[in-house]
Structure 1
Amino acid sequence: MSLLADLLSTLFDRRYVFMGKQDERPLSELCTALMSSQGDISGAAIAHQILDGYATSDLAGKRVFFEFLNSEMDIDPSELERVVAAYKSEKSEENYRELVIAAEPKRQELARRLNQVPGATHQLVHMRKDLLGLLKEQPDLARTDLDLLHLFNSWFNRGFLVLRPISWESPAQILEKIIAYEAVHAIDSWDDLRRRLQPEDRRCFAFFHPSLPDEPLIFVEVALTKGIPASIQGVLGKERSIVPVEDVDTAVFYSISNCQGGLAGVSFGNSLIKQVVQDLSRELEQLNTFVTLSPLPTFCTWATKEEIDLPESDEALEELAASYLLEAKRKDNIPFDPVARFHLYNGALVHDVHANADTSENGRKQSAGVMVNYLYDLKKISQNHEVFANQKEIVASKRVQALAKAGSGQVSSPPKTAPS
């Protein structure tokens, strides 16, 4: 797998060097020129100048660029009506071709042409990150965002992704990005990173794309343990005892971090977990439990919103957390907690909750120190996924159900759970 990744990196990691005269036309005119260009060389030169021009623009210039894409490169409703009528009248090949062309916004083809420049994929991902930052003030730009997301879902589908193990021997530029992108439990030093990567009972895996060979898209950190841990302190403690690899029986996914803000909405986590489970199962046949140790990032926010005082006793706090996980829902009747939504949709079940499991400042602030184990029972993943996706029922262990029942008086809506 590593050799394949290196070969793909060599193949795709080429830098475009523009040697022509800089074109001073506005980005909108350059985009129009690119759409009318027929030659590969001239098209690549224009694409390069658009990308460079966008990258050097200030926020106001970027906003103008997106407004241009949103309005001037949108679908033409009148033309679409005409071709729909023609296709309805006669379902010929020509009419279908015209319908497909008219139904696609021009900005999608523009993005494809921009992407012909080596290195452009990463620039387009950054471009969407900027766009996402503008949507709150200009929600109408969501049309352009939907088009970029549509393209990225194709460009970054599982078939193009390469899974690489990350170890202490990985290139420094990759390790630096693991430190920078860690989103769950901050890595505060190189020694901290070494403790997460070097011991025999630790693993880390990341997805890469051939067009971004040095940029992880998402990575997961794994602790190999004997038994299911009840706190992150026990997993990441400086003085912890290393478990001999022949004694481990559990793989604990304790941190999953998305690395590219511009790829928000493109699903990687489900494929990543499934692939890592398969790889670890082949490497260590004695592994029989695959579980997470996850935060409840919106628990305290929810409690404040519901005007619920967090209990001081650990038992009561675990009861309230279990009620939150099983009963707190959005308007669409799926869990309020984003991490719960992710793992439940992937086919996990709520296995256990633990008070004082994350005593860090962030853990206290977001989750009141509570963490949860989501269990990936390999024999029931598909069944659990179907129950959650189709019936919006949460599969939970009997212990969690009992805790939730004890704490349900503080949560208004009744629980909807399926037995584990």
Structure 2
Amino acid sequence: MANSQDIVCDIQENFTSEEETYLNVYDAGDRFAIEVVYPCIMALGIITNGAFCIVLSRVKQMRNVTNLYLVNLALADMTFLIVAVSEKLARIIASPVQLDKTLYGLAGCILIPFIVNCTYFASIFIVTLVSIEKFYAICRPLQHRRISSFERTVKLLIGAWMLSILCSCTFIPGRANVVTICVQWPADYADIDLPSVVTLCTSINVWNWFQHVSNFLQSVPFFVAAAANTVMYVKILKTMHRRVGAQDDLTEMNNKRVQVRNQVAAMLVANGLVFFLCQMLFQCVSVALAFRHLRTPPILTVAQIDKALLVARILTYLNSAVNAIIYNIVSSRYRSAFKETFCWRKARRVHPRPRVNNVDNNQDLLNPESGQSDSRNRTSVADNSRNRSLETENTLC
């Protein structure tokens, strides 16, 4: 037990009731989540996102504009999981008190939330950029052909990361103050090795409400991105439905078109639901925390907040771990590339596929624009197939 006699305390705290102590000490549920569930999700995320990066580095056919976005998303997800989960593991090992930050001091109070926030914002911005790419590739294909390029994608990604860094910097004042608390625990807890000195990361003294404002501002990019992505997804699905319905005379191609449409729709719905629903609870809790102090009694009790955050973090971590799994389930091309990269037996190589409705047939559905380079390298086909291709192209115009 730490000796507080030689330490200058900013606050003296005397917990006299068992309830007060319980709310500040990790319980069995907290320990199970932090020591078992979180590390399992982190391991899953490292494996899945790492595998996705390896596949794209080894299979040349998978190197395209959209997958460049997804590699950055995978790196952001891995960094987020490693830093966020490792920080919680280190804290629970170092101290049985939930909010005790004595382990890493002021530097950790600033640096760790900065990295977590930066990767969190980067994920939101990159997912939105992917949706914009899908929107232009499907709804405005001619314009997309003119503007889509590797250089443009690199510039957009640099902009997304720079904006993420800028947003993360605005939250530093909310964690840039270290407060030392000397705690007197109830006599019933004398047999537990509870520290007599606890360190907390708090907001700077200039503005006491900064922590509440930062909780609200943290959620603004999420809800704006959720609204923007929803609008784009609806327009994409409507465009896909309208184009397939307008070409019913090409009956021999109907099955292919329906398959492509269904796969694209499934990918859009899966990506949107997983990303935004998994993070929705955490963002709602953040908004509730921002306005909690305005009401007496507060909107949520401390115990309710702790349990809600426990579940919200599990969902948020899962979101960062399952993206590559979704790609593998929905995309036949990614499955082929995965087999080619990791299976012992010689797998069928991933080849460019003929395009249907400006979307590659059986192609990775995250890459609607990748058919542009494929079309330049195709040899001539039978006259009737060429006529149908021209007819489809004219319809899309």
**TM-score normalised per structure 2:** 0.20
Higher relative contact order (CA 8 A, sep 6+): 2
**TM-score normalised per structure 1:** 0.19
More helix by share: 2
